[in-house]
Amino acid sequence: MSACATRPPGAPIIALTLVGSGEPLLRLEKRLHCAAAGAGVRLEPEIRKDAQALGIPFAQTPAVVQDGQVVLNGLPRTEEIETWLRQSCQFGNKP
């Protein structure tokens, strides 16, 4: 498995909530960090294992939540996450 690129020291910081448990959550977290490094941003993830308390069915985990909205779920490819991060940043929105 290859290592992720390093992030620039002044990279913007993005706060996200990762919801799920077990190996799928760990995989999603790694993919997010690798994608963020490629997109030149840093993540501050909060990990929550209580999907139902957040109103997210277990079948839709792992998931990434931002501002109360599910923005990603399942295990998207790292390249897809990076594209999402870049597009979100390009339009001046929080990803």
Average pLDDT over residues 9-38: 91
Sheet with 13-19, strands from edge to edge, namely 42-48, 13-19, 63-66, 69-73
- Tell me how far the alpha carbon of residue 66 is from its chain's centroid: 9
Q: For the whole model, what pTM was predicted?
A: 0.83
Average pLDDT over residues 64-73: 92
List the structure tokens of 29: 């977290």
CATH 3.40.50 fits 21-90, yes or no: no
Predicted local distance difference test score (pLDDT) of residue 94: 47
pLDDT surpasses 70 at 37: yes
